[in-house]
Structure 1
Amino acid sequence: MVKQNKFGCVLRRVSCVEHEKDTVLLSLSFILLQKNGYFKEK
């Protein structure tokens, strides 16, 4: 039981880290697009 619980906790942590990574990548690509003048509005 304890082992399974630990494994689930690790899985949750990994998925959380993956989600944060995706968010950071999205923000970075958005900033890069803005710098390259992809969005005309200011």
Structure 2
Amino acid sequence: MFASPLEKMAIVIQSKNSDGMIIILLLNDIYIYLPILQFYHLFN
């Protein structure tokens, strides 16, 4: 089961918590999802 970056981002936003650990658990490849993380921070 492979999630696209947008799907992964949606999961991160839906599941985000105060310490952000869920992000680390969800991101399999930090180099692929770094742009997603930067985009995600706009929502915080």
More helix, by proportion: 1
Normalising by structure 1, report the TM-score: 0.31
Higher RCO (C-alpha under 8 Å, 6+ residues apart): 2
Max radius of gyration: which structure? 1
